[in-house]
Structure 1
Amino acid sequence: MTETSHYDLTIGLLGTEVPKNSPVIKWKDGYTTILPAVFDDHNINVCAKVDIPIITYLAKCPVSTPDSLYITHISNNRVPATDLHDLVGDSLSQNKPVAIRGRGRHPVGQELTAEFLDQDYAISPNRAVWVHDVMARAIDHTKATRPGVIKYFIESMKNPKTIQCVLDIPLAQVSLPDSLKHVDHGLAYGWNQTTYDVPIKSNVHPENFTVKGWALLHHAGFLTYPHHNAEGSLTWVRVEVGTQFWVVFRPKNRYHDRQHIQDVAIRLRNFTENEAWIKAHCDAEVITLLPGDIVIIPPGQVHAVYTPVASFATGGHFYHYACMHLTEISRYLDVVVGDCLTNQTLHNALETLRRMIIAIPRLSPRIPLFRRSLLALCIMVTQGKQYRAKGGPKSAVVDTETANLSTEIARAISGHLGVTTRMSGPTLLYNGDQFDRGELLTEKSLNEVLTSFTLL
């Protein structure tokens, strides 16, 4: 394969997976891709009004390189596994996505078939899923999904008249790669290390566990609009087959202004109506993911994804102690405008956050805790009902066996961090750079207020 053909992602698609007359575009890193084309009964491309303008903008965005000040790039072969957790956690806590390059599990050119998914990922060809359809989305974005079956979804990849994807295939057996598995603090500490102090007695919503592993399936030409992921989780994705362009956005300035951060997220979600404003107030970088590459994005990170060729990816959601200030902003946005910012509805994070607080008195001293991030976690626990996402069920914020102890610990920590009857937690948190994790807290200072919670 020549260097030129390597960058031409239209080869083999025109007339087979997409219409022969599909337009093409060249990205800043040299890749040439198709632009989506789905024609209605009047031979009008329904992607021309929204999808193509967004992709055209994305293709002009700067390519993220190892020199980026805002995205951390890691070579999977050059960083010892013992250092990877700390490097990744430190970057994410500073609101910097992480791109990890490495060789994929599957050979380049691996064919995406129903048999491959069945054999390698235990995804049955008869599995029922919700299919997102571009034509349906163009007609009514509130009714973009319809029921489907995996084998028929795969067969329709060769139908130039359709562009579809499946955004959420639960794969509970999938987890972070071994070199990153402990970066999931919600599971590693929140759930694994609190059952002595608070045995699990209540019915726990399975979302607390099933969101840690899932898969994504895309036809060639599918655009996932700018959005953030629900419930303040961090998100990791590894491309297994195909190619994806992940574009991450950030405000140019005014990091201290929560209303401005909210405005940025809202306007990005309605990109075509706000393109001029977005150009003036947002920066963006493109992360090109090839098979084996991983991207991890912080909570609340608005991103768009363009998939130019049929692709399959695995990924999941998790929580991290050093990112709780970002989780709080994200969950706040879910409360006020959540129905227009996310492409996936999740509602049951509170129980995990409560257990993360309960774990702190016995937490390993290896885990760094930062002032603003820890304060944000305390606020989300003590004011849990106020963080119920827009449209979320009341059952998501009920008091369980973790409620009293988590509240007691959170209040003790909050007092140590300066919260008083006259100086509320939100007052402290809402001042200053909203993306700042705060200074590192010493184990000694925290132990003074948490000793009583470590008695056997």
Structure 2
Amino acid sequence: MNQVSASHRLDPKLTIQIYQRYATNPADILQQPNEDEPTWRSRINPDSYPVASQTYKFLQSMGKYSESEWRKKFHHNIRTLNSKIQAGPEKVREKAKAYQNKHRAKAGTPGASAPTRDNSLAPQPLNTSVFNTSVFCLHLDKDVLAGGFMPAESESVCWRGDQGSELHFCLPYLPNAVGINDVEPANEYLKALMKTPFIERSNDHVVRMEPHEIPSSAVDLLDIIGNALAKNQVVHLVGFDQRFSQASSIPWSNAIIQARGVSEHRHITIHSLRDNIKYHQGTPSSECMRTYQSTVTAFLEGMKDHSRIEAVLSVNMQGLTFNDVLSDMNDLMLVSRNMEDQHRESAVKMAVVHLAWALLHQAGYLTLNHKDAGGDVSGTLLEQGCKIWTFYFRTHNHRSQHVTETIRLCNEALKPATLDNDNIKVVTIVLLPGDVHFQPPGMVHSVYTPVPSFMRGTSLWSYDTLHLTEISRRVESLRGNLVTNQDFSDVTLYNQLAAMLFGLSIKRNLCPQYRFFQSPLLALSAMLLNPYAYTNQTLNRQAWETKFHELPVYVEALRGASVLARGVLPHLPEAPPAPTYTLNHPQYKLALRRYESSSQKLATSIRRHLDSVGVAERGVQIECSHLDEVIQDIRTA
């Protein structure tokens, strides 16, 4: 090893460079039988970084431990090194000097005194979070090129994390007839995003947990996830599913699709990156085929076709979920299984109670800025590949500004200048096989897929996040075709919300410890009392009236939402009695429209109240006995 000063030997950044090489495959660290120590040191440190001798001892001792024990020790060392970096170079030099004096004293060096213990030199705790991570270095660029998934002309780049990790990957490359890269705007946008390091520890916007930090209690885990989502935070569970956490990001295997029951003959909708880029640059939709119908077989055959980069954004997996514990977050599923009133069951029967899907991407696909349609919570499990997931948090706290900024973010996708805005906080996470993530309703995001990937996901409804659902539905009513990646039926969504209203008593009885808050319940009332405010404003009002008036539970949902709103916020105006005419009575339609008008006025008052509180504020907790009285009034209304 190079003879260098102690201060250099203890430089934590240089030591991290050694760890980065072997974070994903610790077995490669071990000294082989045919290697002497100098040869082994040269192999694991080919750049001859000046590092401490104890670093080599630590790496050499790994053969004595199981992989789980090794990773635990590895995480501890990384936290210590990151703490040294956090403390700054001055303390590192002081520590190095103490280290040098200690060994001089042991050797009997003249003039050297035994070092005294200095607690100020101990590793300093990280201030931002109790959650920390290991450092890794993934060279997906070499792997994806070696696998033939992208052309050799693809540009290799490195995205760094906020704790020193590195992710090397290729940018998309689709040359046209004259050799110009048709998807260069995507590359420029990705380079702009790369200026901000990806997140490797929790902060104000992301709750990130390593495997050893995830609670063993399902109740505790769901409580953490629910509270984070209610505060408009993203949740990232690293290596949550051990079946996939040890899987390599590549090479790609079709077997994983077959194992999930996806037939290769299934018809699917394929999205084209080249045509989506053209569309966002102003090319008329008639001149670019953004989507086309094909089969899973044809899509898989195109994995190594360098003339196209494509993705399937929705492979229907209805009825399946990626984890039974996490599926318990779906309040709509809970209430639908236990709906007591046969009449109100019609709302459940007309609602999609559990939407499960899969994402299938070729290497190099960039999913542009969008929010998920419908206003529910989205959760994913990555089974194969890698995802670079970027979120765009709106930092202002007013709901109308939130709506405006959401539309602008989606409208100006691919424009790096959009990111230079004080109202936006760009946050990126890296998802690897076995990772699970949840994002709150209405979260604008973009996703880059550097290697062929298969991901399963679920869309679910939660009483915790209905105040965010209301904002998401406002956005869709204005520009639904622009901000979402697919459309859902507004009538189906209304039935889902009605089922949530009728299921309040079920949730209360089955989960007595659950806490209800003011803003989510008011948001639920507002969306039910005036459904027209949350539908596509470009469509004919009379057509919408016909759709809603035909719903068996429509009048009952209006009446129940009115009771809920006044029970939560007593100063709201009281709605007149619901129409009592039969459906075929000549006065029924007139009476219903009058009742709708009063309900819409009540919804307007609720929206004013919601606009007076912060976007992610749930308001006060509703006292249990009072809530039970309100629920009883809804049942008898």
Same fold (TM over 0.5): yes
Q: Distance in 2 between matches of 1:310 and 1:391?
A: 38
1:373–1:150 Cα change, 3 Å: same
Pairing partner for 1:324 from 466, 470, 480: 466
CA distance in 1, matches of 2:547, 2:381: 29
Aligned with 2:503: secondary structure?
Answer: helix
Residues 62 and 445 from structure 1, CA distance in 2 versus in 1: closer, same or farther, beyond 3 angstroms? farther
Residues 1:105 and 2:243 aligned together: yes
Give the Cα separation in 1 of the matches to 2:190 and 2:477: 29
CA distance 1:4–1:186, change in 2 (3 Å): closer
Inter-partner Cα distance in structure 2 for 1:196 and 1:76: 42
Deviations 1:381-402 (A, max 9, x none): 1112321245678476454232
Superposition pairs for residues 406-417 of structure 1, below 5 Å? 406-417=557-568
Give the whole-Å Cα distance in 2 for the aligned partners of 1:55 and 1:397.
43
Per the TM alignment, residue 261 of structure 1 is displaced from its structure 2 partner at its CA by 3.9
SS in structure 2 at match of 1:89: helix
5 Å matches for 1:199-278? 199-201=344-346, 204-205=349-350, 208-209=352-353, 212-252=355-395, 254-273=396-415, 275-276=417-418, 278=420
Matched residue type, 1:54: Y
In structure 2, do the counterparts of structure 1 residues 406 and 193 end up closer, same or farther at CA, with 3 Å as the change threshold?
Answer: farther
Partner AA of 2:507 in structure 1: L
Instruction: State the Cα distance separating 1:279 from its structure 2 match.
Output: 3.4
Corresponding residue for residue 83 of structure 1: 220
Q: Distance in 1 between matches of 2:23 and 2:504?
A: 53
Q: Pick from 120, 131, 138: which aligns with 1:7?
A: 138
Tell me how far apart the structure 1 counterparts of residues 295 and 182 of structure 2 sit (CA, whole Å).
Answer: 25
1:25 and 2:25 are equivalent in the alignment: no
Partner of residue 54, structure 1: 189
Task: Give the distance between the partners of 1:455 and 1:397, measured in 2 at CA.
Answer: 22
Give 1:168 deviation, angstroms: 0.4
Letter in 1 for 2:208: H
| Cα separation, 2, equivalents of 1:306 and 1:62 | 15
**Displacement of 1:8:** 0.8
> Among residues 344, 364, 368, which one is paired with 2:515 in the alignment?
368
Give the Å deviation of 1:373.
1.0
2:531 partner letter: G
Q: Contact between 1:114 and 1:151, CA under 8 Å: does it hold in 2? A: no
Matched residues, number: 450
Range moving further from structure 2, 260-269 or 53-62: 260-269
Instruction: Give the CA deviation at 1:155.
Output: 1.6
Secondary structure at the residue paired with 1:449? Answer: helix
The residue correspondences of 1:38-437 to structure 2 (distance < 5 A) are 38-49=174-185, 51-77=186-212, 78-79=214-215, 80-102=217-239, 103-106=241-244, 107-109=246-248, 111-118=251-258, 120-140=259-279, 142=285, 143-189=289-335, 191-196=336-341, 198-201=343-346, 204-205=349-350, 208-209=352-353, 212-252=355-395, 254-273=396-415, 275-276=417-418, 278-347=420-489, 348-364=492-508, 365-389=512-536, 394=544, 397-418=548-569, 419-420=572-573, 424-437=605-618
Q: Which amino acid in structure 2 is aligned with residue 44 of structure 1?
A: I
1:272 deviates by 3.7
CA shift, 1:231, in A, is: 1.3
Q: Cα–Cα, structure 1 residues 390 and 229, in superposed 2: closer, same or farther, change >3 Å?
A: farther
Is this contact kept in 2: 1:217–1:311, CA < 8 A? yes
Question: What secondary structure sits across from 2:374 in the alignment?
Answer: helix
Checking the alignment, whether the CA contact within 8 Å between 2:347 and 2:498 is kept in structure 1 is no
1:249 Cα deviation (Å)? Answer: 1.2
Aligned residue identity for 1:122: G
AA aligned to 1:177 is N
**Separation of aligned partners in 1, 2:381 and 2:518:** 32
**Aligned to 2:631, which of 445, 450, 453?**
450
Would the aligned equivalents of 1:244 and 1:307 in 2 still touch at CA under 8 Å?
yes
Deviation at 1:256, TM superposition (A): 1.8
TM-score (norm 1): 0.91
- The secondary structure found in structure 2 opposite 1:369 is coil
**8 Å contact kept, 1:112–1:312:** no
* Aligned counterparts of 1:176 and 1:219: Cα–Cα separation in 2: 22
8 Å contact from structure 2 (residues 386, 431) kept in 1? yes
For 1:277 and 1:169, how far apart are their aligned partners in 2? 31
Query: Given residue 243 of structure 2, which amino acid in structure 1 is its aligned partner?
Result: R
Quick one: structure 1 residues 453 and 140, their matched pair in 2 at CA, closer, same or farther if it must change by over 3 Å?
closer
The amino acid that maps onto 1:43 is: G
Alpha carbons of structure 1 residues 181 and 276: separation in structure 2 relative to 1, 3 Å: closer
SS at match of 2:143: coil
What amino acid is aligned across from residue 105 of structure 1 in structure 2? Answer: R
Q: Distance in 2 between matches of 1:201 and 1:287?
A: 41
In the aligned structure 1, how far is the partner of 2:200 from the partner of 2:537? 37
Following the alignment from structure 2 to structure 1, what is the Cα–Cα distance between the partners of residues 521 and 500?
10
* Superposition deviation, residue 274 in structure 1: 6.4
Query: Secondary structure at the residue paired with 2:247?
Result: coil
Partner Cα separation in structure 1 for residue 393 and residue 386 of structure 2: 23
Q: 1:183 to 1:201 in 2, by over 3 A?
A: closer
Give the structure 1 partner of residue 71 of structure 2.
Answer: none
Secondary structure in 2 matching 1:31: strand
> What secondary structure, in the 3-state scheme, does the structure 2 residue paired with 1:312 have?
strand
- 1:161 deviation in Å? 2.1
Does the aligned pair in 1 maintain the 2:347–2:553 contact within 8 Å? Answer: no
From the CA coordinates, give the structure whose radius of gyration is larger.
2
Q: Which has the higher helix share?
A: 2
Measured against aligned partners, the alpha-carbon deviations of 1:229-263 in whole angstroms (never above 9, x if no partner) come to 111111011100000011111123x2125135422
2:303–2:363 CA contact under 8 A, matched in 1: yes
Structure-2-length-normalised TM-score: 0.66
Q: Following the alignment from structure 2 to structure 1, what is the Cα–Cα distance between the partners of residues 430 and 189? A: 17
Does 72-81 or 3-12 show the bigger shift? 3-12
Superposition deviation, residue 203 in structure 1: 9.8
Residue 323 of structure 1 contacts residue 373 of structure 1 at CA under 8 Å; is this kept in 2?
yes
* CA distance in structure 2 between the aligned counterparts of 1:399 and 1:93, rounded to whole angstroms: 33
CA contact (8 A) 1:246 1:288 kept: yes
Cα shift at 1:12: 3.0
Identity of aligned residues (%): 23
Measure the CA separation in 1 of the matches of 2:348 and 2:325.
32
Equivalent residue letter for 2:142: I
- Please identify, of 131-140 and 85-94, the stretch whose mean Cα deviation from structure 2 is larger: 131-140
**Is the Cα contact below 8 Å between 1:225 and 1:269 reproduced in 2?**
no
Q: Give me the whole-angstrom Cα distance separating, in 2, the residues matched to 1:24 and 1:384.
A: 49
The CA deviation string for residues 324-376 of structure 1, in whole angstroms up to 9 with x for no partner, is 11000000000011111111111221101001001113432333211011100
Letter of the 1:451 counterpart: Q
Q: Distance in 2 between matches of 1:104 and 1:215?
A: 19
Determine the structure 1 residue equivalent to 2:120: none
Looking at structure 1, the residues matched to 257 and 563 of structure 2 have their Cα atoms a distance apart, in angstroms, of 49
